[in-house]
Structure 1
Amino acid sequence: MILPLSPERARWLRDLPSRSALKVLNERRVRGWLGRRHAAAIARHDARLPPIDGAGQAIVDRLERCGVCITTLDALAIPGSEALVETAAALAQAFAPEARALSRAGQAFIIVPPADIAANPRIFHWGLEDRLLDIAERYIGLPAAYDGVAINYTVADGREISTRKWHRDWEDRRMLKVAVYLHDVDTGGGPFECIARQDTVQSDREGYNYDLADDDALARRLGEDFARDVVSCTGPRGTVVFCDTARFFHRGKPATTRDRAALFYSYFANPPRHPFLCERTGLGRADALALAEGLPERQRRAALWRGQLSPLLRMIPSASL
């Protein structure tokens, strides 16, 4: 009789191809070759970077210096932003009882069902606005791939688990997350936090490793006084946080006084270094294809970035969420 696999064993087997690919791409000679190719691509694309206004350039400059920039929807001035927040906040509120039940059952990472995003295309399309793609491309240095959007729901249970621990994202060398708060977020409401010191150990020269970090590990990598540079992104409804979550340690601070709901939009280079570690929002490829239908060419290329991968990389299934 064949015994059923445990959930942990099934996940291990499912993620074996992506873990193996990460190991191969971090072999010393391979990562050196990839690094040289990437540097050449950045140099070639420099003259084709989109123009950007002063406010957008200020965001890019802030990301370069410390990895995080806090602004507002009003400052971004993207049409339809208030309707976006209203729709997403209503979805989060309707999901709240289920989110709390999932938290009580021990689930660590909780998002509003991706089907709710697919049923409300404006939420997805907002992340493809030219203003956001321009900022992403200027910061990343290459055309931006758009990995979609999730509504992250953090229950105020005080647990320091999963993405509430300090970590770096694994999709690419540098990437951009854009968080939009759906209600006021104070220090007890689980604000997004970033340590404004780059982890220089991560590079094509040194390799890429993705472990959660406690205070001792952060002190070794960033310096004993790293806590001085923790940026806690509190703010009212409509606060927007830009962060490079690949180069800088970050977390959602454990919420203690009220739940937190926020939109999280994801961008990286097209193509990214680790495409098999992307697709983190839960939206399926069929969803992305349907949501991209009828969009301008730039937006379609960003949303359907997997189609521009080599056949070999397309064969590697994405890691589980």
Structure 2
Amino acid sequence: MIRDVVSKRSEWLRNLPARTALRYCNRPAVRMRLGERHGAALHRHGPDLPILGPVEAKIVEQLDRDGIALTSIDRLDLPGSDAMIDTALHLAQRFAAQARAEAAAGKMFMIVPPEQIVAHPGIFHWGLEDRLLDIVESYIGLPPAYDGVAINYTVADGKEISTRKWHQDWEDRRILKVAVYLHDVNEQGGPFQVLSRRDTLQTDAGGYAYDLADDATLERRFGQDVRHDIISCTGTRGTIIFADTARLFHRGKPAIAHDRAALFYSYFAHAPRHPFYCERTGMTRRAMYDLASTLPARQRDAVMWRRRLPISMRMIPPATL
């Protein structure tokens, strides 16, 4: 009991700088200035956005319209995809017993240890393919930052906790998560879900506030018919989900019949609004920099986005996962 209290107090202190910075960025004069700078940056970068092929253009069109787009590994046809999924699935299966034990002990969020991903660079490097970065850049409107990859493991215990509750992500105005299913996922197997109604309250003009929500909270906010706009992303192995997790409420539906394992790649603008809420995949900065050190300049820049931040932002320690 004492250990739990000490741990919670330590986490509260660790996250205090990030919470303070968020409050500062939400002060009316500050948030309006940030919004003006962001609008100017979008305008400047517009002529330099990549030229997309038909598959990529359709994904961006769907994202602009709906905030979500689904495709498949075969249709996207990126090199090394099959081997990447095989390796990630092997890591998830090897982690399964540990994940179930952690869930039984009360842990709310399980990921394959990031050092295991580092030991298999192909998983990390897949998220830096140029065609993926083209999609991210075209949707976000600015050069992309890559926040790494996690293998999320959901135990089929039916519990609605942590990221299985409705929420929005905190990192930036627009965030693109790219989820890849490592096996078939049906309605009982914890599919990724989004609420297709855009939350118009989160803006530079109105400020940004975040909290977990249950179904009753969503009904109060969006109306009693909100359930009609929930999209369950069921799919076969290799299904790819592009979703703006800042724009849309989303969750992993509690799994009840089968455990679910999926890759989640994370992207935002190269100068995110809330850098102190980034670095959420569990991968260390040093490991990511090492994995990117021999890659082309575009990929290195996407990984090493923190180096371009003002020193005042670089000094704020990132909040805990």
TM-score range, shorter chain: over 0.9
**Equivalences for 1:125-164 in 2 at 5 Å?**
125-164=125-164
Tell me which residue corresponds to 2:171.
171
TM score, norm. by length of structure 2: 0.98
Instruction: Tell me which residue corresponds to 1:281.
Output: 281
Counterpart position of 1:8:
8
Match of 1:65 in 2: 65
For 2:97, the equivalent position in structure 1 comes to 97
SS of 1:107 mapped into structure 2: coil
| CA distance in 2 between partners of 1:183 and 1:291 (Å) | 26
Describe the superposition over 1:159-183 as per-residue Cα deviations: whole angstroms up to 9, x where unpaired.
Answer: 0000000000000001100000000
User: Could you tell me which residue of structure 2 aligns to residue 316 of structure 1?
Assistant: 316
Compare 233-242 and 64-73 and name the one that shifted more: 64-73
2:40 corresponds to which letter in structure 1?
A
Measure the CA separation in 2 of the matches of 1:26 and 1:247. Answer: 17
Paired residues, what number?
Answer: 319
Q: Distance in 2 between matches of 1:222 and 1:141?
A: 28
* Cα shift at 1:223: 3.0
Amino acid at match of 1:34: L
Residues 102-159 of structure 1: CA distance to partner in whole angstroms, max 9, x if unpaired? 0000000000000001111110000000011000000000000000000000000000
- Structure 2 CA distance for aligned equivalents of residues 309 and 263 of structure 1: 27
2:270 corresponds to = 270
2:48 aligned partner: 48
Instruction: Give me the whole-angstrom Cα distance separating, in 2, the residues matched to 1:282 and 1:218.
Output: 29
Q: Is residue 119 of structure 2 the alignment partner of residue 119 of structure 1?
A: yes
Report the alpha carbon displacement of residue 5 of structure 1 after superposing the two structures with TM: 6.1
* Offset at residue 4 of structure 1 (A): 9.9
Shift >3 Å, 4+ stretches:
none
Aligned equivalents of 1:29, 1:214: Cα separation in 2: 32
**AA in 2 matched with 1:44:** R
Whole-Å Cα distance in 2 between the matches of residues 222 and 269 of structure 1? 28
C-alpha displacement at 1:221, in angstroms? 2.8
C-alpha separation in 2, matches of 1:48 and 1:158: 46
Alignment of 1:121-270 (within 5 A): 121-270=121-270
**Residues 193 and 251 of structure 1 are in contact (CA less than 8 Å); yes or no, is this contact kept in structure 2?**
yes
Partner in structure 2 of residue 37 of structure 1: 37
Q: Who is 1:18 aligned against? A: 18
> How much has 1:100 moved relative to structure 2?
0.4
Higher mean alpha-carbon deviation, 210-219 vs 57-66, is at 210-219
1-side partners of 2:283 and 2:49: how far apart?
A: 29
Q: Which residue of the partner structure matches residue 82 of structure 2?
A: 82
SS in 2 for 1:15: helix
Secondary structure in 2 aligned to 1:286? helix
Q: Which deviates more, 50-59 or 159-168?
A: 50-59
1:43 counterpart SS class: helix
Give the counterpart letter for 1:81 in structure 2.
S
Query: Using the alignment, how far apart are the partners of 1:148 and 1:266 within structure 2?
Result: 6
RMSD: 1.1
- Aligned AA for 1:157? D
Q: Which runs of 5+ in 1 are unaligned?
A: none
What is the CA distance between 1:61 and its match in structure 2?
1.2
C-alpha separation in 2, matches of 1:113 and 1:31: 36
Q: Which 5+ residue runs of structure 2 have no aligned equivalent?
A: none
Letter in 1 for 2:50: P
Which residue identity does 2:177 align to in structure 1? K
Q: Secondary structure at the match of 2:111?
A: coil
Report the residue type matching 1:213 in the other structure.
Answer: A
Q: 1:69 Cα deviation (Å)?
A: 1.0
Q: How far apart in 2 are the matches of 1:243 and 1:313?
A: 27
Amino acid at match of 2:166: W
Alpha-carbon offset, residue 214 of structure 1: 2.0
